[in-house]
Structure 1
Amino acid sequence: MTLGLCLLTTLLATAPARAETPQQAVQALLNSIQQVKEMEALSPEEARANRAVMDRALTHLDVAEVSQKTLGKHWKRRSAEERQQFTQLLGELFRYVAFPNSAKFFRELTIEYQDNSKDGTAATVPVVVHHKDEGEIRIDFDLLENDRRWRVVDVILDGVSMRNNLRTQFYQILKKDDFAGLVQRMQDRLDTARGGGS
């Protein structure tokens, strides 16, 4: 009896945690983003803590999916190494550009979660925020479920898709330049956001 109870306790303890809901994934993302601080004038300890918050926020984004969709038809033409490089750079741009800018926007806002919709492994979580200057703003978070985890793959602000906006920018650059040129522009933007260093 004792052995059986012990085995049951062990099995329950090692069972995978229940997957969070799409809304919980969005809440976790926004909670992390709200804690991100501006890079300037941070002590080394504060910078490390800030990096940890940004890393946590990034786990709620499917950067690989966003990378593939934003590069669109150009994704298939890239080698595995180039895809990895692009995905890593895009993730770093989320950390050092998108998250600090979003933190400024979300930090003082009241966020109301609306009824979300789910269709298999896809879900949309709509939120309404109240901005003192811009009034009521609707934001839709599109998510996909993979390996029992919901991750954000697009953010639609007042009808404008983040993913489509990025794809438009990347396509415009690729019309004038090659893939290496796009990567260099992304790296330059990242270096500027980091203050000239890593």
Structure 2
Amino acid sequence: MRKCFIAFTSLLFLFLIASRGYCSDPMQQLRVTVDKVIEILKRPDLKSPDKEELKRKLLGEVISERFDFQEMARRALARHWRKRTDQERKEFVRLFRKLLERTYLRRIEQYSDERIIYKEERIDPPYAIVKTVVITRDSVEIPIDYRLMQRSNDWKVYDVIIEGVSLVNNYRKQFDRIIRSSSYKSLVDRLRKKVE
């Protein structure tokens, strides 16, 4: 009887963990997020143009569960981050998040039954890399690596490498060039124009 109770309790605990998406495995956590995104994209009730805003809102909520936008913003601003006040940092994170959402949600929305293969994960606490390949309808393979950082029980994405190009490094170079040739204010003004 005691063994049955322990087995039942263990199964219940595992079910609760799985149903909430809590896993110690970064690849599994990423897979849960990607599956949720694909589920939203496939929903027939979100296909019409008048549902576009709702679909983007739902996608944004799912993505924000897995992505650490503050860490991404900090890394993209690099050495210029230390010089910013708390208020400036909050504003920059907000603008950078909007920029990423606006740019990449459009690309995500173009999803049309591509296959995603989860190749491997490398864990070096508190960091991990999950290597994936997206296979398009034309059988073109696009390697996408996710760099993650452990935050309590969650693994949060802080960079995405698409075909060998780091998203964060790409923005870092652009932002640094603008700040050095003009000013931090100029960078913020440009971001505002793009996202607001």
Say which of 7, 21, 31 aligns to 1:27.
Answer: 31
- Describe the superposition over 1:97-144 as per-residue Cα deviations: whole angstroms up to 9, x where unpaired: 22222332x443101111211111111111112124571121111100
Say which of 118, 127, 135 aligns to 2:123.
Answer: 118
The answer for unaligned runs of 5 or more in structure 1 is: 192-198
Q: Following the alignment from structure 1 to structure 2, what is the Cα–Cα distance between the partners of residues 157 and 49? A: 24
Q: Following the alignment from structure 2 to structure 1, what is the Cα–Cα distance between the partners of residues 72 and 153? A: 18
Aligned equivalent of 1:195: none
- Report sequence identity in percent: 27
| Contact 1:36–1:100 (CA under 8 A) maintained in structure 2 | no
Aligned equivalent of 1:176: 181
Question: Number of matched residues?
Answer: 177
Structure holding more helix per residue: 2
User: Are 1:162 and 2:167 an aligned pair?
Assistant: yes
TM (norm. structure 2) is 0.78
1:49 shift after superposition: 4.1
Query: Alignment RMSD, CA only?
Result: 2.8
Q: Following the alignment from structure 1 to structure 2, what is the Cα–Cα distance between the partners of residues 122 and 61? A: 14
The answer for unaligned runs of 5 or more in structure 2 is: 43-47
- 1:14-93 to 2 correspondence within 5 Å? 17=17, 19-20=22-23, 21-34=25-38, 35=40, 42-43=49-50, 46-93=52-99
- 1:145-156 to 2 correspondence within 5 Å? 145-156=150-161
Larger RCO: 1 or 2 (CA < 8 Å, sep 6+): 1
Aligned equivalent of 1:135: 140
| Contact 1:33–1:103 (CA under 8 A) maintained in structure 2 | no
Q: Which moved more, 1:165-174 or 1:21-30?
A: 21-30
Aligned equivalent of 1:97: 103
| Contact 2:119–2:133 (CA under 8 A) maintained in structure 1 | yes
User: Are 1:108 and 2:113 an aligned pair?
Assistant: yes
